[in-house]
Amino acid sequence: MTARSSLGFHTLTDEIDHDCPVSGSVPEWLSGTLIRNGPGAFEMGDSAVDHWFDGLAMLHAFTFGDGEVSYRNRFLRTDAYESARAGSFESGFATGNTTLRERLRAFLFEKPYDNANIVAERIGDDYLALTELPRWVAFDPETLETLDHVRYDGPVPTGNLACAHLKRDPETGELVNFETSFGRRCHYHVHSMSSPTERERICSIPVDEPAYMHSFALTPNYVVLTEFPLVVNPLDFLKPGAQGPFIENFEWKPERGTRFIVIDRERGEVVADPRAAAFFGFHHANAYEEGDALVIDLETIPDATAIETLSLDNLRKGNFDVLSGRLERFRVSLGADGRATVDRERIHDGMALPTVSPARWCRDHRYVYAQSPDQPMTTWPQAVAKIDTETGRAVEFADDPEDRYFSEPIFVPNPDGEREDEGVVLTVALDPETERSSVVVIDGDSFAELARATVPHPIPFDFHGRFFPELTG
Ligand SMILES: [Fe+2]
């Protein structure tokens, strides 16, 4: 049996340019482009992927200006796309029998998998689609046309796995990231960058069994790698016979706990690495400094079983049967005597894909925006929430009737605003009745709908968006 939400996991073949009919009123100040990235196709010909994370990258651009909204979508023309068109999905995060060993071989041949379907990011003057491998795909932000691959090949040490969630320090404009190198000796390499081809090393941390970390935390003075106990023994994949999709090579080892590796950005040194009881997570909502403590708001789940739940077979049947995320606040106190401690506080239960205002990145925030699924999940999220971390209260936005599905919410600050929540939240709603999607503009303060612009096709459930004010169309 297929679920109503299965429309979010269909293959979209249309690539269109469209002036969207708008209901309500888009604020005059809202100018720029929201570019969302995510899987657009799960099948091509006789070939298909097994997992939501492995669909072929498609960009969706919503451009706002003068109260109007236009929309454009394009597949990334990658090697992965061409190979799928030719009848084979080469490999992926959780699809196929590509072993990590084969991946390593691919890395050695300088051609990692390029299905960059996680996020669109600006690095220097370039716009790039990113995935977790260090071969990014540049695109034209106006036309969404695929340009070229970009790969750093300078003197700063690089890894085989890259984090797709770069963190930007709004004070310095620096972008910070880390990569994980596999081999007989493994490292986390942490660096900052001013363009796709310019990096400055922060540090390299040796590690015996590297963890799968989808994002990390940045504050003005520190980088924090939250090392979940989902780890891989590099010796296992260097010897022949390792089988299964990439992520299945990682093993859940809760006895290790979850380690917060705190790196001083200036000195390039690990200054503390306290552990908390084991938990898993995907997204760091934000982090900041408070006295000698680092405050880190994280989307947590108890363990890594959620990854299997996100297989397309499960999702299309509506078999979620999983805990959705929890927003938790971790306070890492560095301590004058070098003994760091971690405190943990639950802020909100039942959320996914948390974001904060970009004006609050690396500094204290009050509000977190997120998808708002049931806890435990029974269906795809049918609401988005504004979570007040001071009071613990959350306000939800849902459609009436409540049968539409919402993407990650992105907050866009009003450039003339003063309060943190003065601005709008943009989220994409999928309506299974009309088989169309809309971008919904929600007032950041009241959390009421201001406007909605509809596109003539259903957009598959995607991952992440960025709002680029400079892209005015
Ligand atoms: Fe993500």
Distance 388 CA to ligand 1 centre (A): 22
CB 167 within 8 A of CB 217: yes
How far is it, in rounded angstroms, from Cα 61 to Cα 414? 20
pLDDT digits (tens, 9 = 90+) for 200-231: 999 999 999 999 999 999 999 999 999 999 99
Distance 365 CA to ligand 1 centre (A): 20
Name every residue whose Cβ is closer than 8 Å to that of residue 58 and which is 6 or more positions away in sequence. 12, 37, 38, 39, 40, 41, 73, 74, 75, 76, 117, 460, 462
Distance 465 CA to ligand 1 centre (A): 10
**Reduced to 3 states, what is the DSSP secondary structure of residue 433?**
coil
Options 2.60.40, 3.30.70, 2.130.10, 3.90.1150; which CATH number does 4-468 get? Answer: 2.130.10
Distance 164 CA to ligand 1 centre (A): 7
How far is it, in rounded angstroms, from Cα 341 to Cα 224? 14
Name every residue whose Cβ is closer than 8 Å to that of residue 207 and which is 6 or more positions away in sequence. 180, 186, 187, 188
Which of 59, 57, 65 is CA-nearest to residue 20? 65
Domain boundaries, the chain: 4-468
Residue 108 CB-density burial (10 A; 0-12 exposed, 13-18 middle, 19+ buried):
exposed
Distance 115 CA to ligand 1 centre (A): 14
Distance 67 CA to ligand 1 centre (A): 30
Distance 232 CA to ligand 1 centre (A): 20
> Which residues are 395's β-sheet partners?
386
Distance 462 CA to ligand 1 centre (A): 10
> Which residues are 122's β-sheet partners?
127
Distance 116 CA to ligand 1 centre (A): 12
Distance 189 CA to ligand 1 centre (A): 20
How far is it, in rounded angstroms, from Cα 443 to Cα 34? 16
145-150 own/partner pairs: CB under 8 Å, 24+ apart = 145/74, 146/74, 146/76, 146/77, 146/78, 149/114, 150/126, 150/196, 150/197
Distance 55 CA to ligand 1 centre (A): 14
How far is it, in rounded angstroms, from Cα 194 to Cα 124? 6
pLDDT at res. 123: 95
Distance 282 CA to ligand 1 centre (A): 6
In this structure, what are the phi and psi dihedrals at residue 333, rounded to the nearest 5 degrees? -90, 125
Distance 431 CA to ligand 1 centre (A): 23
Distance 174 CA to ligand 1 centre (A): 20
Q: How many other β-carbons are positioned within 10 Å of the β-carbon of residue 403?
A: 15
pLDDT at res. 367: 98
Distance 317 CA to ligand 1 centre (A): 23
pLDDT at res. 92: 61
How far is it, in rounded angstroms, from Cα 473 to Cα 470? 9
Distance 132 CA to ligand 1 centre (A): 10
Distance 338 CA to ligand 1 centre (A): 32
pLDDT digits (tens, 9 = 90+) for 406-462: 999 999 999 999 999 999 999 999 999 999 999 999 999 999 999 999 999 999 999
Distance 310 CA to ligand 1 centre (A): 13
Distance 283 CA to ligand 1 centre (A): 6
**Reduced to 3 states, what is the DSSP secondary structure of residue 104?**
helix
Distance 337 CA to ligand 1 centre (A): 36
Strands ordered across the beta sheet of 146-150: 119-123, 126-130, 136-139, 146-150
In this structure, what are the phi and psi dihedrals at residue 4, rounded to the nearest 5 degrees? -60, -35
Distance 331 CA to ligand 1 centre (A): 22
Q: Is the dihedral of CA 23, 29, 33, 38 positive or negative?
A: negative
Residue with tokens 């859940």: 252
Distance 165 CA to ligand 1 centre (A): 7
Q: How far apart are the first and last CA of the chain?
A: 43
Distance 335 CA to ligand 1 centre (A): 31
pLDDT at res. 240: 63
Residue with tokens 């892209």: 471
The tens-digit pLDDT sequence of the chain (473 residues) is 467 888 999 999 999 999 999 999 999 999 999 999 999 999 887 788 888 888 999 999 999 999 999 999 999 999 889 888 887 776 566 555 554 555 555 544 456 778 999 999 999 999 999 998 888 999 999 999 999 999 898 999 999 889 999 999 999 999 999 999 988 899 999 999 999 999 999 999 999 999 999 999 999 999 999 999 999 887 776 666 655 666 777 899 999 999 999 999 999 999 999 999 999 999 999 999 999 999 999 999 988 877 777 777 878 887 776 778 999 999 999 987 768 999 999 999 999 999 999 999 999 999 999 999 888 888 889 999 999 999 999 999 999 777 899 999 999 999 999 999 999 999 999 999 999 999 999 999 999 999 999 999 999 999 999 999 999 98
CA torsion angle 65 66 69 75 (round to 10):
-30
Q: What is the secondary structure of 246-284 as a DSSP string?
A: GGGG-EE-GGG-EEEEEEETTTTEEEE--EES--EEEEE
